[in-house]
Structure 1
Amino acid sequence: MQEEAGQLFRDIAIAITSSIIISLLVSISVIPTLINLLYGKRESKEKNWMQRSLIGPVFVSMMMAVSNLCQKNIFTRLLTVILFTSLSVSLIYMLKPPAEYLPQGNRNLILNILIPPPGYSVEKLKEMGRTIYEESKPYYGGDGKDGFPPIKAMFYVGADRFTLFGGMSSEETRAAELIPLFSRIMNSIPGIFGVSIQTGIFEQGLGAGRTVEVNISGENIDSIAGGAMTLFGAIRQKIQGAQVRPIPSLETSYPEILVIPKKEKLAANGLSEKDLGVYVDILMDGRKIDDFSPEGVKQIDLVVKGSDNEFTTPEAILQATIVNAFGDLIKLGDIAELKYSQSMPQINHLERKRTITLQVTPPITLPLQSAIEIIEGELVAPLTAAGKLEGVSITIGGNADKLVETGNALKWNLLLALLITYLLLSALFENFFYPFIILFTVPLAAAGGFVGLTAVNTFIKPQGFDILAMLGFIILIGTVVNNAILIVHQSLNNVRYQGMEPMEAISSSVRTRIRPIFMSATTSVLAMTPLVLSTGSGSELYRGLGSILLGGLTMSTMFTLFVIPALLTFVIRFERSRKDEAA
């Protein structure tokens, strides 16, 4: 898997595979030797009160009574399979939540991106920074104020392309509670609006964490800005609590100066419009003409640039001296003129089309998939049908796009895991039917996984169905089949080598395997419980994964004892005793 989440999956897969291999080696080498040393010379003793407990035998008797009832006749077998299968499918359908991308985490950093009006001066930016610090000062240190956690540190950046400030909480786990405070401070500054978001641990780019990017593309910048403004208002109204950040801006009134060529004079001097653009580029920002690589020193770019002291205003470049195609010196103003206009601070392009992007951060209670469905189905489609988005095209990108790509890749990985498991079991059992019966535990485990995730959401803490949680279903494929393998393998041994009748063989197999099945399941469940119940820093990353594994393993363990024997009765009757064949 090569997507962004692939690295996370790869690390987990390597860790699990390595631990299983080491565990296998230890179990077949160290454990038998150790058991022989500890118990080889031990005399038999009477059972103590714990060993004589009635709980175990009574529990086994109850489980066997239900299991035998499920395989009593054809009707009960079919009823068992249909009932548990229908229950599993229904639970999956009802409990499957909308998907998230990667876990947000609980990073102790709140980022506030400010969008000032056009023409905001440097002095105004400095004044805004002082205002933000003054408004935040009462919340520094101590025990906090007005229910907000105390602020540990802040920073402010006022630049020509972006303006932002950030803050950290003295109580690391309560950083998100500062968002309403910072939003209130932003809204109190006249003419300013912006977004206040908690940065994610997997965030790439400024504010590009748990976001849906709505790209409004077209040819006419006014149509694009109008469509973006329409969607901006619709999203904020429809998704309450959503943070919407336009990139680069919704305003088209930023001052702009255009360098217009005088075509006749340009041609008379043997220059093209491209040549003019190169000259202007050199005078304004500078242009790379070559690179210099001295020995032992990093490569240096050679840039030709106009003097900052000489060209302090746009009009000054018209007095710059340049060389025409004939080697004569001329003024730039001889071949070009300036035109004052208004536009955006920058124009972004997507697939060669001018684009304004609305970066939507939905509230934490709204999954990313739900936000995508609302934007596409309840906003974009009706507005397009009403003719309010004419002349523009709308696409969804950002983490929403990555969620779809990773989800599709994960589906193929899930199918591949099922196929590999099926083929491996087919080779081991030398049969194509028994692996199918064993894999019947997978949908039972999937239903249990969603039950576990729902239980965590209800009783412990809200937990999204993110990509890491989805990994739990792939892990379950290799885990829950173990119990079914024990029952099927022992049943076949009873028929082939003990000469038992099919029904007797299955019943005996279930009875003898209840103890190891529940021992392994109990140890696994207890070992994974801290993963779900822990509330420490970083625990939210793997809580979803743990809840799916916990729920899936628990439900499949219980259902396997009833469904697998019922299915096995339809196939095992064709087995013959190998003792008879040998005779």
Structure 2
Amino acid sequence: LFQRGGRSIDIEITGPDLDRLISLGGRIFSQVMEVVPGSQARPIPSLDLGNPEVRILPDRVRAAEVGLTAREIGAAVNALVDGALIDGYQYQGEEIDLTLRGMEDWFRTQDIGNLQIYTPRGQLVPLSSLATVEVTTGPEQINHIERSRAITIQVTPPEGTALEAALDQIEELIVQPLRDQGEIDPPYGIELAGTANDLKKTGEALQWNLLLALIITYLLMASLFESFLYPFVIMLSVPPAAAGGILGLAAVNLLISHQALDILTMLGFVILVGVVVNAAILIVHQTLNIRRADPDIETRLAIRQAVDSRVRPIFMSVITSAVGMLPLVLFPGAGSELYRGLGSVVIGGLVVSTIFTLFLVPTFLSLAMDLSDWLGRQVKGGGNAGAGA
């Protein structure tokens, strides 16, 4: 799933007719080089049908007359040509296969028709009397996807081209025109797979995971603070963290090396949700403690005292966390590109979120507390009026 581990897009073409699949594969192969300049394309298997092969077409009527089936004919030919596994035995803890095969010096292509097949009636008949033997050409291998013959065009975009952009270009300029022209109607089909498609699916899943992380974090803080208002103020530190993560990733791309938005990098944004709220929690929690100790204290004074007492541990925590993750970003070596994106996102998000938290959270906390006090007075006033009546 990591883009540096394998940046490829697989164009899977499926259908019953191998010749038509090869024709479609050749057209797509040539179009890919035009749509995604600088990319590398490789057909799997090869689009060349020049590989010599011997094709045996059983005559079912003749085979039935001697009591044989097409499967039994194929098994007999396979045993004499390639060998057939019949059993195995254990030797010094290892499984040794017993293979039945013909003599090594008997086989020549032109002699396959003279191969003697033993029938259930105890007769030996030549293969040529039961099947048609053709010496022809074909592909070096035949792949299947969900029981259909398949040819795959594997495309590797250049380093400067994002996988998602290349995927969209292939879908819009190659695949969709083929669908519009009806050339890949059932039983033929075409699908985009490979690491690019996996990355896209995982990215969509991570979007929901990010939303779930936000909801869980909010509900957990709501249960701890016994309020739905204060956790909302704390969650205001998340958007600056996302912006800081993007800035950190951009700085790595600009100053160090190209870093793709891969799965670990996306995971860094999910991690930020649970990390950057710590500074805001300290400020809100300390403010509430000060107000509980002195109910008559002014709201803004309580917030100012809370920030004064908590700014030092907040900066200590952020600095130690950022410095501790700097090796993930700065140190080279094998596999460093896997974690460089994660480190840059977390460091950038922590730094930017902390700076904005010291300004945003006190401001909105003051508004939230003023709103809470006003609502409390309204409820209390309404209760007194009802009691007086």
TM-score by length of 1: 0.60
Q: Corresponding residue for 1:343?
A: 138
| Structure with the larger helix share | 2
The residue identity in structure 1 corresponding to 2:213 is A
User: What are the superposed Cα offsets for residues 296-346 of structure 1, whole Å, 9 maximum, x if unpaired?
Assistant: 5323333222222211x2222222222112112222222223123332111
> Any conservation in 2 of the 1:103–1:468 contact (CA below 8 Å)?
no
Following superposition, the deviation at residue 537 of structure 1 comes to 4.2
Deviation at 1:508, TM superposition (A): 2.5
Q: Does 1:448 align with 2:244?
A: yes
**Which segment drifts farther, 388-397 or 320-329?**
388-397
Q: Structure 2 counterpart of 1:434, which letter?
A: Y
**1:352 is matched with which residue?**
147
1:271 is matched with 68
Residue 136 of structure 2 corresponds to residue 236 of structure 1:
no
1:403 corresponds to which residue? 199
C-alpha distance in 2 between matches for 1:292 and 1:478: 57
Does structure 1 conserve the Cα–Cα contact (< 8 Å) formed by 2:199 and 2:262? no
Q: 1:300 to 1:416 in 2, by over 3 A?
A: farther
Q: Contact between 1:464 and 1:544, CA under 8 Å: does it hold in 2?
A: yes
Match of 2:167 in 1: 372
User: What is the SS of the residue equivalent to 1:560?
Assistant: helix
The 8 Å contact of residues 222 and 252 in structure 1, kept in 2 or not, is answered as no
- Equivalent position of 1:330 in the other structure: 125
CA contact (8 A) 2:3 2:195 kept: no
Instruction: Give me the whole-angstrom Cα distance separating, in 1, the residues matched to 2:193 and 2:8.
Output: 9
Deviations 1:437-483 (A, max 9, x none): 21221122011101111121122221111111112112212211111
> Would you say the 8 A contact 1:492–1:572 is kept in 2?
no
Letter in 2 for 1:494: I
Task: Assess if the C-alpha contact under 8 Å between 2:164 and 2:200 holds in 1.
Answer: no
Residue 481 (str. 1) matches residue 277 (str. 2): yes
Corresponding residue of 2:81: 284
CA-CA distance at 1:387 after TM superposition: 5.0
Tell me the distance in 2 between the aligned counterparts of 1:552 and 1:450.
8
How far 1:386 moved relative to its partner? 4.2
Partner of residue 102, structure 1: 2
Structure 1 gap segments, 5+ residues each: 1-100, 105-199, 201-208, 577-583
Equivalent position SS for 1:571:
helix
Aligned to 2:225: 429
Give the structure-2-normalised TM-score: 0.88
- Between 244-253 and 523-532, report the one with greater CA deviation: 523-532
Give the paired residue count.
371
Maintained 8 Å contact 1:248/1:346: yes
Whole-Å separation in 1 of the counterparts to 2:324 and 2:242: 20
- Structure 1 residues 536 and 329: alpha-carbon distance in aligned structure 2, compared to 1, 3 A threshold: closer
CA RMSD of aligned residues (A): 2.2
Aligned 8 A contact 1:227 1:389 in 2: no
Instruction: Tell me, in whole angstroms, the C-alpha distance in 2 between the residues paired with 1:324 and 1:536.
Output: 65
- Whether the 8 Å CA contact 1:216–1:228 is kept in 2: the answer is yes
CA contact (8 A) 1:256 1:342 kept: yes
Assess if the C-alpha contact under 8 Å between 2:9 and 2:192 holds in 1.
yes
Q: Distance in 2 between matches of 1:536 and 1:337?
A: 60
Match of 1:570, SS? helix
Tell me: higher relative CO, structure 1 or 2? Use CA pairs within 8 A at least 6 residues apart: 2
Q: Secondary structure at the match of 1:360?
A: strand
Query: Distance in 2 between the 1:232 and 1:521 partners?
Result: 51
Cross-structure match for 2:355:
558
Q: Which runs of 4+ in 1 moved over 6 A?
A: none
Aligned pairs (5 A) from 1:19-168: 101-102=1-2, 104=4
Deviation at 1:494?
1.8
3-state secondary structure, aligned to 2:94: coil
Distance 1:430 1:306, change over 3 A: same
Is the contact between residue 283 and residue 317 of structure 1 (CA under 8 Å) also seen in structure 2? no
Q: Deviations over 1:237-295 (max 9, x none)?
A: 1212211110001123333321122333212211111211111221222222333346x
CA contact (8 A) 1:476 1:552 kept: yes
- Which residue does 1:512 correspond to in 2? 309
Structure 2 counterpart SS, 1:322: strand
**Counterpart of 1:444 in structure 2: which amino acid?**
P
Q: CA deviation at 1:416?
A: 3.7
> Which one of 332, 337, 348 corresponds to residue 540 of structure 1?
337
1:58 aligns with none
Rate the CA distance shift 1:337–1:309 in 2: closer, same or farther, 3 A.
same
